[in-house]
Structure 1
Amino acid sequence: MAEKCNACGKFLPAADRVTCTKCSSMCHRRCVNIPQGAQAPPSWICPDCKANVPRANTDGTPLRGQPHTTTETTQVMPNVNEDIRTFREEIRKASEECRIWREEVAELRSIMKSMGDKIEELEKKVDDLEKVVAEGGSNKALEATVSQLKMDLDERDQELLLNDVDIAGITEEDNESVQHLVLACATKLGVPLDERDIVSCKRVGLRRTGTKEDSRPRAVTVRLARRSVRDELIKAARVRRGLSTEGLGLRGSPRPLYVNERLTRTNRQLFNRAREIAKKLSWRFVWTREGRVFVRQDQGAPATRIRSSGDLERVFGPGSGLSVM
């Protein structure tokens, strides 16, 4: 019957064994660190017998691991290697995500710079034409050109806001984290939103105090890194009727919560004025899309875009655009 190594339990070839002088058990030379061909000491004893030899005054001395622990270490190594491979894969994915985000941010900056150059050019044209009008008196052609340039300028301003949303109704508190509130609103809407999706977010305007009407919370303006995320938020808000701040952990009674695309000052005034007039004249639909204001008298009627106070007067009648700057 073939002998087995007392250290590792594997079968022993005759040429690769040493015998314990105390218990007569045999071990592989490599398991007990005796080189092949070397002579074992005459009093050599196996690791088990050596461990049983009493040692005086060495209670605090750590014992060298037994040779059979080599097998246990070998069994653990595959798991460690798998963990390392998993970790490397996670790092690779994270690096790829960072690369994509850097490209998107660079593209956004490039678009903003291009829009900024166009706006500066249009502003210069408007200033020059206004000077001509002021010096030459009333000139309908020049006034029409100035009006057109102002609309073009406002459109450029609106294009810079196409990644923005306004969130109105969030109760305002001291030392609040606006970003946390935005993420909580997104969760309530069922839209997955990460901190990396938010380029900036802040309250806009002066803080209102005093009466209940004046104490309405300021809107939160959010600039998002991707247009698709903005569209998801707006779409989710429009399909949820009666959306409120309930569940956001804010003090006071729940308030209605509104999520809309951000408009320039001019478009916001046109939109508000169009809603007022439409309500008086029983027009059913007033809405915005991609920063543009539209009205429709009834279901099935053609939609009309409102770009200026002149459009308000043309659609709703004389005097309709008087309150729009």
Structure 2
Amino acid sequence: MPLQHSPPPPAQKEQTPKTPLFDAPQPGGLHTSLSSSEPSLNQNIDSLTNNASPVITFRNVKRKRLEEDEENRLSTFMSDLKELFREFKQQQEERCAKLCSTVDQIRDTVDLMADKFNDLTARVEVLETERKEILSYTHKLEEKLEHFEQNSRSTCIEIRNVPVAKSETKTSLMKTVIDTGNLINTQIQSHEIKDIFRIQTKDPAKKTIIVDFTTVLRKEDFLEKFRKHNRDRFKLTTEHLKFSGPAKPIFVSENLIARKKRLYFLARDAALSNNYKSCWIKNGKIFMREKEGFKHFEIKSEADLSVITKSA
């Protein structure tokens, strides 16, 4: 019986032993192993140093080039920045110059306008002074005109609330005045009446009668007797003068100009509101008295009435 034998193991390739970088320590021989490894270590370091030196040189060159490029770019940037600043400064100087020129023009214009304003102010002051003088002069002229007009009525009286009769004439009006004089105890002669007529009023049926006496004394006597009669006896009415219809009071007063009539109306209202004793008219002038025994004073304008109202 044949015997089977296992095939022989393949032949092992001879391997070149690798020299270790460091020798393995041998038991009991530590110092021997370290001393034997030093030549290898130094040799390897020198080998690494010699092999790396070209790489280090290449990097230094590249870094220098990069640094030079950075310096060039920085220099270019700084140059551009300086140029921008120079242009900006030039633009600002030009703008500043224009602005200064404009300001100078405005200043000149303002100075011119100020001079014109001062001239206008001086002219306005002169005109205002002239206006006040003109107003003062006009006021004096108005006062003189009113004085002359009032003097032209110094002999005239008004009789109000007398009904208008049919086919009325100056003769019938004169008879009414003479009858009124008889009632108040003063005898009126026809030759003492220079003129008599009616004037237009709000009520056409009761137009005011204007009686123009020949003298101021006769006018004053008629007014005084009428006031005394109304105060001491009884108030005169249309019934006493034989007029038909309901009895209505008759009013007699001086014939005043329009401004004096308004002032007299306001004066009576102010006297009533401020508890003044009396307010009356004499010779075209308006007088007021606060209480009996007090001195009377004249009302010349509405300003006098405002003083009375404030002091009350």
Q: Could you state the TM-score of these two structures normalised by the residue count of structure 1?
A: 0.50
Q: Please name the residue that 1:197 is paired with.
A: 192
Give 1:136 deviation, angstroms. 4.2
Matching residue's letter, 2:274: L
**Distance in 1 separating the partners of 2:176 and 2:259:** 28
Unmatched 5+ stretches in structure 1:
1-134, 210-214, 319-325
Q: Please name the residue that 1:224 is paired with.
A: 213
Give 1:302 deviation, angstroms. 2.5
Give 1:256 deviation, angstroms. 1.0
CA contact (8 A) 1:151 1:308 kept: no
Q: Please name the residue that 1:298 is paired with.
A: 291
CA contact (8 A) 1:198 1:223 kept: yes
RMSD of equivalent CA atoms: 2.3
The ranges of structure 1 where at least 4 consecutive aligned residues each deviate by more than 6 angstroms after the TM superposition are: none
Q: Please name the residue that 1:145 is paired with.
A: 137
Give 1:317 deviation, angstroms. 4.0
CA contact (8 A) 1:165 1:260 kept: yes
Q: Identity across aligned pairs (percent)?
A: 19
CA contact (8 A) 1:233 1:259 kept: no
Bigger Cα Rg:
2
**Distance in 1 separating the partners of 2:179 and 2:201:** 24
CA offsets 1:171-198 (integer angstroms, 9 cap, x no match): 2222122222122212222211121111
Question: Residues 158 and 299 from structure 1, CA distance in 2 versus in 1: closer, same or farther, beyond 3 angstroms?
Answer: same
CA contact (8 A) 2:153 2:256 kept: yes
Q: Could you state the TM-score of these two structures normalised by the residue count of structure 2?
A: 0.52
Q: Please name the residue that 1:235 is paired with.
A: 224
The counterpart of 1:245, out of the listed 238, 243, 262, is: 238
Q: Please name the residue that 1:262 is paired with.
A: 255
**Distance in 2 separating the partners of 1:303 and 1:247:** 34
Question: Residues 307 and 224 from structure 1, CA distance in 2 versus in 1: closer, same or farther, beyond 3 angstroms?
Answer: same
CA offsets 1:65-97 (integer angstroms, 9 cap, x no match): xxxxxxxxxxxxxxxxxxxxxxxxxxxxxxxxx
Matching residue's letter, 1:205: Q
SS in 1 for 2:195: strand
**Distance in 1 separating the partners of 2:191 and 2:301:** 37
CA contact (8 A) 1:189 1:236 kept: yes
CA contact (8 A) 1:151 1:307 kept: no
Unmatched 5+ stretches in structure 2:
1-125
Q: How many residues align?
A: 178
Q: Please name the residue that 1:185 is paired with.
A: 180
Larger displacement relative to structure 2 (137-146 or 259-268)? 137-146
Matches within 5 A, 1:67-82: none
Larger displacement relative to structure 2 (277-286 or 146-155)? 146-155
CA offsets 1:219-246 (integer angstroms, 9 cap, x no match): 2110011222212211110111212222
Give 1:206 deviation, angstroms. 3.8
CA contact (8 A) 1:171 1:255 kept: no
Matching residue's letter, 1:280: S
**Distance in 2 separating the partners of 1:188 and 1:180:** 12
CA contact (8 A) 2:201 2:208 kept: no
Question: Residues 261 and 306 from structure 1, CA distance in 2 versus in 1: closer, same or farther, beyond 3 angstroms?
Answer: same
Q: Answer yes or no: is 1:165 the counterpart of 2:160.
A: no
**Distance in 1 separating the partners of 2:201 and 2:291:** 38
CA contact (8 A) 2:149 2:257 kept: yes
**Distance in 2 separating the partners of 1:207 and 1:268:** 15
